[in-house]
Amino acid sequence: MRNVYYAPLVRWEIVEEIIFLVEPEDREEVQKLVIGSIDHVVMETVLLYLDKADHEEFLKRTHEAYHDQSLLDWVKSRAHGVEDAIRRAIRETKASIRALLE
The per-residue pLDDT for range 63-79, each reduced to its tens digit, is 999 999 999 999 999 99
> Residue 101 pLDDT more than 60?
yes
Quote the mean pLDDT of the chain. 95
State the pLDDT confidence band at 102, using cuts at 50, 70 and 90. Answer: confident
Residues with Cβ within 8 Å of residue 76, at least 6 apart in sequence: 82, 83
Distances (CA, A) of 53 to 38, 42, 47, 58, 72: 24, 18, 10, 10, 17
Task: Look at residues 40, 51, 49, 50 and name the one whose alpha carbon lies nearest to residue 92.
Answer: 40
Q: Would you say residue 1 has pLDDT above 70?
A: no
What gap in Å lies between CA 52 and CA 73, rounded to an integer? 18
- The answer to pTM > 0.85 is yes
Which residues 6+ apart lie within 8 Å of 7 measured at CB?
69
Domain limits, the chain: 7-101
